[in-house]
A and B are shown apart, each in its own frame.
Chain A
Amino acid sequence: NAGVTQTPKFQVLKTGQSMTLQCAQDMNHEYMSWYRQDPGMGLRLIHYSVGAGITDQGEVPNGYNVSRSTTEDFPLRLLSAAPSQTSVYFCASGGTGAHYGYTFGSGTRLTVV
């Protein structure tokens, strides 16, 4: 099925561990973003990309790294996990007609202990 695929759906990390959240879309979308969702804070933009090879920081980029080597993939790396990074993470993508709205992945619930 076409759409945005996020893996894993759930993850528990220990403080200091690193990991990569995967995001892939098969719609040839230019725009991709990562958000974190915390209670009362809405969806906050972590990093975003406007095309392969082009990324930029959003509102809360510290502790996260991204790259966009292909149009399809936009992985999010946690360099050294901290309890403050416990959250639900969403990846989303939009095409040239992004004014029609974004397509979201199903989310990753990450717990850092």
Chain B
Amino acid sequence: AQTVTQSQPEMSVQEAETVTLSCTYDTSESDYYLFWYKQPPSRQMILVIRQEAYKQQNATENRFSVNFQKAAKSFSLKISDSQLGDAAMYFCAYPLNYGGSQGNLIFGKGTKLSVKP
């Protein structure tokens, strides 16, 4: 069965510092996408960043970047220069394989990030 594991239920970071959230997954696929979503207290799900597995280069979106280790099946999210607005639940997600299509996502249990001023 495909699984996504986030081993850190809660993390804390000082404002302006850097924090890394971990995610591992299990798959037999060779080509896929990985995602990080943010859920602030408003409950809205916001796509933060995505990674294409066949690309060697790690994805970057402004202060957010990933460390993608395909062989280790690891997909961590690094947040640089943390801001108070980064406080939220963060979910790692991986596409469910249904007959070769990968359009539905499965999620990890999430990491609650607190940002201290």
Contacts and interface: CB of A to CB of B under 8 A. Distances in A.
Interface of A: 30-31, 33, 35, 40-45, 48-50, 56, 58-59, 88, 90, 92, 94-96, 98-102, 104, 106-107
Interface in B43-92: 43-45, 47, 50, 52, 91
Q: For B44, B45, B106, B108, which residue has the most chain A Cβ atoms within 10 angstroms? A: B45
Given A50-B104, A94-B104, A101 B9 contact: no
A94 B103 contact: yes
Interface string B19-47: 00000000000000101010000011101
A88 B45 CA distance: 13
Interface residues of B, number: 27
Nearest to B103: A31
A92 B98 contact: no
A92 B96 contact: no
B104 A33 contact: yes
A9 B57 CA distance: 40
A68 to B, nearest CB: 12
A48 B107 contact: no
Contact of A106 (B44, B95, B106): B44
Contacts of A43: 91, 107, 110
A58 to B, nearest CB: 8
B50 A104 contact: no
Given A48-B96, A50-B98, A94-B104, A101 B47 contact: yes
Contacts of A59: 106
Contact of B45 (A41, A45, A90): A90
Contacts of B98: 48, 50, 56
B9 A40 contact: yes
A72 to B, nearest CB: 16
Contacts of B110: 42-43
A41 B91 CA distance: 11
A42 B104 contact: no
Which 9 pairs across A and B sit closest by C-beta, in order of nearness? A31-B103, A42-B109, A98-B103, A104-B45, A101-B47, A43-B107, A99-B33, A48-B104, A42-B110
